[in-house]
Amino acid sequence: MKRLGNNRNLTGLLFVSPWIIGFLVFTAFPLLYSLFLSFQEVKITTDGIKTNFVSFGNYEYAFSVDGTFVDRVLKYLEEMVISVPIIIVFSLIIALLLNQKIKFRGLFRTIFFLPVIIASGPVIKELIDQGITTIPSIEQYAIYQALNDNPDGFFNGILLYLIKNLIVILWYSGVQILIFLAALQKMDKQIFEAAKIDGASNWEFFWKITLPSLTPMIIVNLIYTIVTYSVFSLNPIIEHIQKNMFKVDTGYGYASALSWIYFLIIAAALAIAVGVMTVKRKKKYT
């Protein structure tokens, strides 16, 4: 058994080795070099790249002077808290529907996954500019006008954001649907048959069997959604970092510092989300 386990570990390492080699060759050095630049004032001259050590000056500048960056980070966190749960819930609902025995099930799976293939930055930007990412004619409804007249309230702001970005939020759900669908199809049918014999209802099937079995996949989708939402090319924070990269008064050093701050924010968001889900899962089984 020990030898079999070692063979499996070796097989897994061989499968992941192309990524490890690619990371070490193409990513590791730029990553560490950007960390080095984040503590430097960088100037590009005819003689090459000149650096001047400024300690944590770039990081202090980001929070004390660059108000645009702070505002965009706060807005990003607010939108992420709203969007990620909606994406997860919508993906789970669609996966449950597609798991039923219906005609043209394969066609519906393709339709829901198609946005993942074509959802590049320029495509989404063009759709946003044309107003296709909002609910059609929503401005004519009284509820929208009431919310738009008082956008400062917390819940009003959330509802307005959902109305204006609903199509984009749903656009992110393709991969998550497939992950949930794969997990649903791997479930043991005998468990459902035994529960049915005991008189369990469909509601009890979902809350007592399906949802607890999907908890690991919910965590996977949570990680995937947060990362995808955070690194999308039209993200205002990424655009802000790119603009500062080519400014004379900031440059590569400051842009590198912003990148590392943003990385730490994403890492913290992932740690909190996974930690909360893990604690909830442990409580259910204790």
| Domain spans of the chain, in order of start | 65-283
Segment (H or E) for 44: strand 40-45
Q: What is the SS3 assignment for 143-182?
A: HHHHHHHCCCCHHHHHHHHHHHHHHHHHHCCHHHHHHHHH
Amino acid identity of 14?
A: L
Bridge partners (DSSP) listed for residue 45: 48
If phi > 0 it is left, if psi is from -120 to 50 it is alpha, else beta; for residue 275 that is: alpha
Segment (H or E) for 48: strand 48-53
Nearest alpha-carbon partner for 284 in 211, 218, 190, 221: 211
Q: pLDDT tens for residues 216-239?
A: 899 999 999 999 888 877 788 998
Cβ atoms 58, 254 nearer than 8 A: yes
Architecture of domain 65-283: Orthogonal Bundle (1.10)
- Give residue 191's pLDDT band: very low, low, confident or very high (50, 70, 90): confident
Q: pLDDT tens for residues 43-67?
A: 887 777 888 898 899 999 999 888 8
Cβ atoms 274, 84 nearer than 8 A: no
Task: Say whether pLDDT at 268 is over 80.
Answer: yes
Task: Say whether pLDDT at 260 is over 90.
Answer: yes
Q: How many CB atoms lie within 10 A of CB 73?
A: 19
Structure tokens belonging to residue 6: 């070692």
**pLDDT at 124 (0 to 100):** 67
Q: pLDDT tens for residues 86-125?
A: 889 888 988 888 888 777 777 777 777 777 776 656 666 6
**pLDDT at 225 (0 to 100):** 92
Task: Say whether pLDDT at 68 is over 60.
Answer: yes
Task: Say whether pLDDT at 9 is over 90.
Answer: no
241 CB burial (10 A radius; 0-12, 13-18, 19+): buried
Query: Tokens 């400024």 — which residue?
Result: 54
**pLDDT at 234 (0 to 100):** 73
Task: Say whether pLDDT at 162 is over 70.
Answer: yes
Cβ atoms 36, 225 nearer than 8 A: no
The phi and psi torsions of 42 (rounded to 5 degrees) equal -105, 130
Q: How far apart, in whole angstroms, are the C-alpha atoms of residue 159 and residue 143?
A: 10
Task: Say whether pLDDT at 259 is over 90.
Answer: yes
Q: pLDDT tens for residues 116-161?
A: 776 656 666 666 666 666 666 666 666 666 666 666 666 666 777 7
Q: How far apart, in whole angstroms, are the C-alpha atoms of residue 86 and residue 229?
A: 12
**pLDDT at 60 (0 to 100):** 92
Helix-helix angle 236-245:251-284, to 10 degrees? 160
